[in-house]
Amino acid sequence: MDRINEKAEKDISAEFVRIDKVLQGEPLDYSVIVDRISQSVPFYRAALKNAAISGTAVINNPFWWSADEKFFNNALAVKLGVPVPKTVLLPSRNHPDDTSDQSFRNLAYPLDWDGIFNYVGFPAYMKPFDGGGWKDVYKISDKEDLWKKFEGTGQLVMLLQEEIIFDDYFRCYCIGGNQVRIMQYEPRNPHHLRYEHGKAPAAQKLLDTIKDYVIKLNQYLGYDFNTVEFAIRDGIPYAIDFCNPAPDADIKSVGQENFEWVVETAATYAIDRAKKQKDGLDNLTWGQYVRTSCAQTPLTGGNTPEALDAQTTTAQVASEVVTEAKAKKEKAAAKPKATKETAAKKPAKKKE
Ligand SMILES: Nc1ncnc2c1ncn2[C@@H]1O[C@H](COP(=O)(O)OP(=O)(O)O)[C@@H](O)[C@H]1O
Ligand SMILES: [Mg+2]
């Protein structure tokens, strides 16, 4: 906030958001809100969605952040060709409140545990599918160890994941979907020595690959502010944790230089978003996953944001024309030739 104000850009200033009431469809009167807290306060999450529909650019998109979790994000990484540890989703040890055995009749009992163990292997990690802050993260040595630790997980939905026994580890900030700060890191050290590890610097080629993966993941997820962690095994970076939309950036943990990068990059980015904000429009970032889904184009293969804008418009036009053609068909029931084919051709004409 101080950094934005120091820059003294014309008509731009920053302050803590102040809320004294939240009325449906009423704006909060900010061009941009940087959200660092709604993961812990559902009231704020709902207030931010209400601000978003009223034109505020919320960093990060509160809708996407309400939707994704680590398991889906791993599935997305698989589709994008970004290496991730082999991972399976486990049903919670205990039934969620107000459910019964009947609610789980779709589950085989027992699950195909041998199939699961053969896929993941041991040692493994078990962690909540939507966790953070190293909470309830367990290292698992074998089957017996898993049963023991699974017993204590209650209603949490857990992932069981191959352990990547790593030679090196990186934590990377990504701001604005394209600005990347790669930090060599040693998670096995005590907190104060994680960034001061004394390791030799990494090869440029590896750093380039990491940067490429960080940008790809964040472009597809649609996060404006996130961190991605990689464990390196045999020269391959495996994405371990990339669902951190309010990542730690404490000067005491990341050090002066990384802290300075985050403050400066985030301040400049927030100002940029304020300049681009347009009243009466949606000013959120929507990732390529959502955009390709809406445009009904394949997930990968040169779908630039510009191309997607054009495709979305075409898809909208197409569906409008199909609806129109359907209505005509219903009217003129005597003309059975008004078929799908006609409807499908029309949008092509309109494109011309
Ligand atoms: N599959 C894995 N292989 C190796 N180390 C892992 C793996 N999963 C987690 N870890 C270790 O556990 C730490 C916490 O797990 P992480 O997935 O980052 O959870 P959180 O979101 O709670 O930070 C990681 O920083 C890493 O050191
Ligand atoms: Mg982590």
For ligand 1, atom 16, the nearest C-alpha belongs to: 241
* Structural domain includes residue 217: no
Taking the C-alpha atoms of residue 214 and residue 179, their distance in angstroms, rounded to an integer, is 9
pLDDT value, residue 302: 72
Same domain, 101 and 158: yes
Q: Is the CB of 194 under 6 A from ligand 1?
A: no
If you average pLDDT over residues 104-112, what whole number do you get?
95
Encode pLDDT of 198-254 as tens digits.
888 999 999 999 999 999 999 999 999 999 999 999 999 999 999 999 999 999 999
For residue 251, the one-letter residue type is I
Q: Is the CB of 164 under 6 A from ligand 1?
A: yes
Write down which residue in 108, 137, 162 finishes a domain: 162
Which residue would you say has higher pLDDT here, 61 or 327? 61
Same domain, 106 and 61: no
pLDDT value, residue 304: 74
Q: Considering every ligand atom, which ligand is closest to the CA of 243?
A: 1
* Structural domain includes residue 316: yes
Encode pLDDT of 39-68 as tens digits.
999 999 999 999 999 999 999 999 999 999
**Helices 204-221 & 70-80 angle (0-180, nearest 10):** 120
Which residue would you say has higher pLDDT here, 27 or 331? 27
- Closest ligand 1 atom to the C-alpha of 243? 21
Taking the C-alpha atoms of residue 68 and residue 60, their distance in angstroms, rounded to an integer, is 12
Same domain, 107 and 149: yes
| pLDDT > 60? residue 300 | yes
Confidence of residue 194 (pLDDT cuts 50, 70, 90): confident
For residue 202, the one-letter residue type is A
Distance 88 CA to ligand 1 centre (A): 15
Distance 190 CA to ligand 1 centre (A): 15
Give the tokens for residue 247: 């990542």
Taking the C-alpha atoms of residue 176 and residue 215, their distance in angstroms, rounded to an integer, is 10
Same domain, 55 and 114: no
Write down which residue in 162, 192, 220 finishes a domain: 162
Confidence of residue 327 (pLDDT cuts 50, 70, 90): low
Domain count, the chain: 3
What residues make up the domain containing 155? Answer: 86-162
Encode pLDDT of 71-82 as tens digits.
999 999 999 999
pLDDT value, residue 317: 53
pLDDT value, residue 337: 39
Residues forming beta bridges with residue 90, ordered by sequence position: 158
* Structural domain includes residue 269: no
Encode pLDDT of 147-183 as tens digits.
999 999 999 999 999 999 999 999 999 999 999 999 9
Distance 153 CA to ligand 1 centre (A): 17
CA 254, 259, 265, 266 dihedral sign is positive
> What is the layout of strands, in order, in the sheet containing 168-175?
179-184, 168-175, 225-233, 236-241
If you average pLDDT over residues 88-102, what whole number do you get?
96
* Structural domain includes residue 207: no
Q: Considering every ligand atom, which ligand is closest to the CA of 121?
A: 1
Q: Is the CB of 227 under 6 A from ligand 1?
A: no
Taking the C-alpha atoms of residue 290 and residue 319, their distance in angstroms, rounded to an integer, is 18
How many residues does the structure list for the chain? 352
Confidence of residue 196 (pLDDT cuts 50, 70, 90): confident
Distance 298 CA to ligand 2 centre (A): 30
Percent of the chain predicted with pLDDT > 90? 79
If you average pLDDT over residues 298-323, what whole number do you get?
67
Does residue 241 contact residue 226 with C-beta atoms inside 8 Å?
no
Residue 80 host element (H or E): helix 70-80
Least confident of 65-69, 308-312, 313-317: 313-317
- Closest ligand 1 atom to the C-alpha of 135? 22
| pLDDT > 80? residue 190 | yes
Q: Is the CB of 132 under 6 A from ligand 1?
A: yes
Percent of the chain predicted with pLDDT > 70? 88
* Structural domain includes residue 211: no
Q: Considering every ligand atom, which ligand is closest to the CA of 172?
A: 2
Same domain, 98 and 140: yes
* Structural domain includes residue 347: yes
Nearest to 63 by CA among 53, 54, 78, 55: 53
| pLDDT > 80? residue 189 | yes
Which residue would you say has higher pLDDT here, 338 or 36? 36
For ligand 1, atom 26, the nearest C-alpha belongs to: 187
* Structural domain includes residue 300: no
* Structural domain includes residue 58: yes
Give the tokens for residue 260: 């300075």
Same domain, 40 and 107: no
> What is the layout of strands, in order, in the sheet containing 87-90?
87-90, 158-162, 124-128, 138-140
- Closest ligand 1 atom to the C-alpha of 169? 27
Distances (CA, A) of 78 to 64, 75, 217, 352: 19, 5, 11, 37
Same domain, 46 and 113: no
Does residue 28 contact residue 47 with C-beta atoms inside 8 Å?
yes
Q: Considering every ligand atom, which ligand is closest to the CA of 130?
A: 1
| pLDDT > 50? residue 340 | no
Write down which residue in 162, 187, 214 finishes a domain: 162
Place of tokens 């990347």: 180
pLDDT value, residue 301: 84
- Closest ligand 1 atom to the C-alpha of 85? 1
Give the tokens for residue 113: 């545990």
Taking the C-alpha atoms of residue 46 and residue 48, their distance in angstroms, rounded to an integer, is 5
Q: What is the CATH number of the domain that holds 103?
A: 3.30.1490.20
pLDDT value, residue 336: 41
Same domain, 112 and 149: yes
Which residue would you say has higher pLDDT here, 308 or 315? 308
Does residue 60 contact residue 245 with C-beta atoms inside 8 Å?
yes
Same domain, 61 and 110: no
Does residue 224 contact residue 60 with C-beta atoms inside 8 Å?
yes
Burial 1-11 (b: 16+ CB within 10 A, else e): eebbeeeeeee
